[in-house]
Amino acid sequence: MSKPRPLSGFPEFLPAQRSVEVEVLRTLSRTFELHGFTGIETRAVEPMDQLLRKGDTSKEVYVLKRLQDTEAGKDAGMGLHFDLTVPFARYVLENAGKLEFPFRRYQIQKVWRGERPQEGRFREFTQADIDIVGQGELPFHHDVEVTRVMLEALSQLTFLPGFRLQVNNRKLLQGFYVGLELADTDEAMRLVDKLDKLPEEKVREMLVAEAGLSDEQADKVLGLARICTPDDSFVEQVRALGVEHELLTQGLDELAALMRACQDIVTDTVRIEADLKIARGLDYYTGTVFETRLDGYESLGSICSGGRYDALATDGRTTYPGVGISLGVSRVLVPLLSKGHLVADRQVPSAVLVALTDEESRAGSTAVATALRTRGVPCEVAATASKFGKQIRFAERRGIPYVWFTQADGSHQVKDIRSGDQVAADPATWTPPTEDLRPQVVTHIPQKEIQ
Amino acid sequence: MSKPRPLSGFPEFLPAQRSVEVEVLRTLSRTFELHGFTGIETRAVEPMDQLLRKGDTSKEVYVLKRLQDTEAGKDAGMGLHFDLTVPFARYVLENAGKLEFPFRRYQIQKVWRGERPQEGRFREFTQADIDIVGQGELPFHHDVEVTRVMLEALSQLTFLPGFRLQVNNRKLLQGFYVGLELADTDEAMRLVDKLDKLPEEKVREMLVAEAGLSDEQADKVLGLARICTPDDSFVEQVRALGVEHELLTQGLDELAALMRACQDIVTDTVRIEADLKIARGLDYYTGTVFETRLDGYESLGSICSGGRYDALATDGRTTYPGVGISLGVSRVLVPLLSKGHLVADRQVPSAVLVALTDEESRAGSTAVATALRTRGVPCEVAATASKFGKQIRFAERRGIPYVWFTQADGSHQVKDIRSGDQVAADPATWTPPTEDLRPQVVTHIPQKEIQ
């Protein structure tokens, strides 16, 4: 077999890169579980009719067929899921009788999209979703809850750059547009969503030409979109635009409550903004909406998005409202890892290499390793009884911080090969500092990361 | 949307079942990492030419096509992996220059096979593989290492029934058959592999009729297959059959060394046997071979299998020998979970439900929860300020062991709802017993499990 080449759009990690991903996923899971979120997994496939319900993504689905069915062009009627929301909604309906509501779940899985690979877009990637789902109703305080949980989860990833969670509320937008008497509020929302990519002047033209807004209406719509505050002071600014509507008031109240309830966890690196241009155009959100920007990596787009659905799922009789947020784990990690901005300080979990004097003493070295492992110290025994200098270089190449030697008289020494310090040690009691037990993530993020 | 129905062959777990799986996967990962195995993941897809190299599984591959390519019958030239060995061999070749050898890796992922679903066979299932791969060479002591690591990993799953790891060596079989002057040793090995499913008398007939053995040769082949010892005493029994060959001697030496090196970790529930009927018929093993039976669940077949490959991968110039073993996580868990023989004692990670006196005090209850979480106590705040009795029943239904109350005077009490004990507690210091921090796996395995 000749040397295989990577498949475009299907990123894979080397061991030290994967260590970073594992650290991220463990931190996320731990935070989600601390907040009572249950981890579930759904199968990778869904029936095609489920996947095609959201019209605009249908072209991106990978359809499965069994190899022996090739000739007939027959497929299995199933495709790979392209997000974790569609399978979760199906899981909730399928198991509604066996779940307790409100149901908090987190789900960290790969998803697949058959789209053309490009910077920041993958065909296989990992998402980490949290959602809270109610049966019939779901009080607004759960919107605050998912916001706080994701803020906390992201802030635990201390090796990542800072970030900015941008929050808005669809009721606020919808109420403002209805209050302004816009003919087509959906179209206006879709165009405002383009402020990310297009200059304001261009969006104004489209609002007038495509959505039929008057100049005055366009001014107000863009005035609203310009409002962005780190606290609840946006309310006053919106009120100053002089538009009135009951739904607008509801949206303002909700967003203000959310902003106030999150102030205690804001820091220099963990920020939240009421950003009134955020609309999440094509998705079916009905209240709170989220996007998130990573400092210095704004070109990645939103790395963490979501919102409130009044009907995450429905079986016709019961409706299941939900609020959730989805972190694009691969979207963040693949660029940072492939540029070397993040890396782990070792390629293996081992904190200790137990050196081998000769092949006959392998059982003795294995016994040392076994003793260390009982206290949770990951270690490996040297593969061959080469010269100690060579065994130390072997450890160095892998980033293993300690090498353990058993002397001829049966006494033991352990060497920190970073400092060169070597001390007497007892396999029954010695433990390295906690930070050496697991690979550490090292950041090499340029001061001015320009993408 | 009407109520969705499960897809046959694609098992999914309810939250309390998934907790058991998470516990299994965490325990496996921890054990593998303690032994210096690096966790990697490979993409779910491989090019079709990679997947079709093993002829006999080709019909089971799920081929991918993008939805918009449907009409042309065009597929993406890729399929879902059906095991973790093919992708791992590809990963080793692709990254050989960046890996350190011997390379110890573990890999826990889903795999897919388009076969007809039946008892114990799935279309999507999870495997946990460990392998050690060398560049050019891989000393035999690594065969002992993977055996010990998997024995230890399985023995850490204390809620599972006991198990029996059955080991043999292809060199032993091959050497014995060549020493016996069999015309077609592969065919003999393939037939001996059927002793699992067919009576000995039937296999004897086939050995004579299909593989052309004489009665005397068939006697010896079956005599060898009958040998099964918990230690290295099999050597003497094989020698007594009077067959001589250099490869046989090599196989006997290796297997005896492995059996001796594992005696210290054998217990009543964790057993190892030199079982000379184990052949792993169609796979390309060249030395040690493994199978594993779960006590009381023998009808599941081997739950954990593997062996030594002299060429796990090769690029024509360099060969990468490997030894590994693969645990069928779904094969074990799906039947045990679906029969209710294993279950977790709660549906949520929360150890504490923080009760809510009224909606106005939500911030106070959230502050209690935040304080508990800083010490790693998973908790959730009650969804609604219903009567305390109702909040306690809510906790009961989810299996949350503790309910926290904040009194009107600002003091706190915590109630263990299993015992009814209620004591004063401080959110800044109170911690439940360690075993209450995470869901516990409860076993309900019938004394006489007959399948």
For A100, the closest of B62, B98, B397 (CB atoms) is B397
pLDDT at res. B1: 62
CB contact under 8 A, A7 and B78: yes
**Residue B449 belongs to some domain of the structure:** no
Residues A303 and B296: their CA atoms lie apart, in Å, by 48
Do both B114 and B132 map to the same domain? yes
Residues B348 and B400: their CA atoms lie apart, in Å, by 7
pLDDT, mean of residues A339-355:
96
pLDDT at res. A406: 95
For A349, the closest of B37, B110, B124 (CB atoms) is B37
- Check pLDDT > 60 for residue B443: yes
CB contact under 8 A, A139 and B98: no
**Residue A443 belongs to some domain of the structure:** no
Within 8 A of A379 by CB-CB distance, chain B residues are 34-36
Do both A325 and A371 map to the same domain? no
Please tell me whether A280 is known to bind a ligand. yes
Q: Mean pLDDT across chain B, nearest whole number?
A: 93
Do both B320 and B425 map to the same domain? no
Å between B389 CA and nearest CA of chain A: 17
CB contact under 8 A, B63 and A67: yes
Contact B44, B64 (CB under 8 A): no
| Domain end position, chosen among B275, B308, B343 | B343
pLDDT at res. B433: 97
Label residue B447 by pLDDT band (50, 70, 90).
Answer: low
Please tell me whether B434 is known to bind a ligand. no
For B64, the closest of A3, A64, A261 (CB atoms) is A64
Label residue B451 by pLDDT band (50, 70, 90).
Answer: very low
Kindly state the percentage of chain B with pLDDT values over 90: 85
Within 8 A of A10 by CB-CB distance, chain B residues are 43, 45
Please tell me whether A297 is known to bind a ligand. no
**Residue A369 belongs to some domain of the structure:** yes
Within 8 A of A112 by CB-CB distance, chain B residues are 44
**Residue A222 belongs to some domain of the structure:** yes
- The per-residue pLDDT for range B239-274, each reduced to its tens digit, is 999 999 999 999 999 999 999 999 999 999 999 999
Please tell me whether B320 is known to bind a ligand. no
pLDDT at res. B56: 54
Q: Mean pLDDT across chain A, nearest whole number?
A: 93
- Check pLDDT > 90 for residue B115: no
Do both B335 and B429 map to the same domain? no
pLDDT, mean of residues A278-282:
81
pLDDT at res. B280: 85
- The per-residue pLDDT for range A198-256, each reduced to its tens digit, is 999 999 999 999 999 999 999 999 999 999 999 999 999 999 999 999 999 999 999 99
Question: How far, CA to CA in Å, does B420 sit from each of B101, B348, B435?
Answer: 57, 20, 18
**Three-class SS of residue B164?**
strand
Do both A338 and A388 map to the same domain? no
CB contact under 8 A, B34 and A378: yes
Do both B339 and B375 map to the same domain? no
Do both A328 and A386 map to the same domain? no
Å between B388 CA and nearest CA of chain A: 17
Kindly state the percentage of chain B with pLDDT values over 70: 95
- Check pLDDT > 90 for residue A1: no
A46, closest residue in chain B (CA to CA): B7
pLDDT at res. B348: 97
The H or E element that residue B152 is part of is helix B141-156
Do both B339 and B369 map to the same domain? no
Kindly state the percentage of chain A with pLDDT values over 90: 85
User: Tokens 């991106």 belong to which residue?
Assistant: A60
Comparing C-alpha atoms, which of A210, A181, A178 is closest to residue A194?
A210
CB contact under 8 A, B4 and A50: yes
Residue among B17, B64, B284, B390 with most chain A CBs within 10 A, to mutate: B64
CB contact under 8 A, B316 and A41: no
Å between A149 CA and nearest CA of chain B: 11
pLDDT at res. B221: 97
Contact B106, B327 (CB under 8 A): no
Residue B329's domain comprises 15-343
pLDDT at res. A451: 43
For residues B429, B432, B434, B437, the Cα torsion angle rounded to the nearest 10 degrees is: -110
**Residue A379 belongs to some domain of the structure:** yes
pLDDT, mean of residues B197-209:
94
Contact B147, B127 (CB under 8 A): no
Q: What is the CATH number of the domain that holds A410?
A: 3.40.50.800
Å between A5 CA and nearest CA of chain B: 6
- The per-residue pLDDT for range B41-100, each reduced to its tens digit, is 999 999 998 888 765 555 689 999 887 775 555 667 899 999 999 999 999 999 999 999
Residues A198 and A192: their CA atoms lie apart, in Å, by 10
- The per-residue pLDDT for range A422-443, each reduced to its tens digit, is 999 999 999 999 999 999 999 9
pLDDT, mean of residues A138-155:
97
Contact B85, B107 (CB under 8 A): no
| Domain end position, chosen among A309, A326, A343 | A343
- Check pLDDT > 70 for residue A59: no
Please tell me whether B38 is known to bind a ligand. no
Contacts of B29 (CB under 8 A, 6+ apart): B39, B106, B108
- How many residue pairs from chains A and B have C-beta atoms closer than 8 A? 231
For B124, the closest of A44, A58, A75 (CB atoms) is A44
- The per-residue pLDDT for range B358-380, each reduced to its tens digit, is 999 999 999 999 999 999 999 99
- The per-residue pLDDT for range B216-233, each reduced to its tens digit, is 999 999 999 999 999 999
CB contact under 8 A, B315 and A15: no
pLDDT at res. A295: 95
Å between A110 CA and nearest CA of chain B: 9
Å between A158 CA and nearest CA of chain B: 16
For A65, the closest of B63, B68, B78 (CB atoms) is B63
Within 8 A of A136 by CB-CB distance, chain B residues are none
pLDDT at res. A56: 54
Please tell me whether A250 is known to bind a ligand. no
CB contact under 8 A, A44 and B112: yes
| Domain end position, chosen among B343, B369, B403 | B343
pLDDT at res. B182: 95
In total, how many domains does chain B have? 2
- Check pLDDT > 70 for residue A70: no
Do both A119 and A185 map to the same domain? yes
CB contact under 8 A, B362 and A141: yes
> How far, in whole angstroms, is CA A412 from its chain's centroid?
45
Please tell me whether B284 is known to bind a ligand. yes
For A349, the closest of B36, B41, B363 (CB atoms) is B36
Do both A223 and A128 map to the same domain? yes
DSSP code of residue A35: T
Do both A368 and A320 map to the same domain? no
User: Tokens 């050898």 belong to which residue?
Assistant: B101
**Residue B272 belongs to some domain of the structure:** yes
**Residue B213 belongs to some domain of the structure:** yes
Label residue A450 by pLDDT band (50, 70, 90).
Answer: very low
Do both A336 and A356 map to the same domain? no
pLDDT, mean of residues B299-327:
94
Within 8 A of A47 by CB-CB distance, chain B residues are 4, 7
Please tell me whether B106 is known to bind a ligand. no
For B18, the closest of A39, A90, A98 (CB atoms) is A39
- The per-residue pLDDT for range A363-373, each reduced to its tens digit, is 999 999 999 99
Within 8 A of A14 by CB-CB distance, chain B residues are 95, 98-99
Q: What is the CATH number of the domain that holds B111?
A: 3.30.930.10
**Residue A142 belongs to some domain of the structure:** yes
B23, closest residue in chain A (CA to CA): A39
Residues B14 and A383: their CA atoms lie apart, in Å, by 43
- The per-residue pLDDT for range B398-436, each reduced to its tens digit, is 999 999 999 989 999 999 999 999 999 999 999 999 999
CB contact under 8 A, A12 and B43: yes
CB contact under 8 A, B43 and A347: no
Residues A185 and A175: their CA atoms lie apart, in Å, by 9
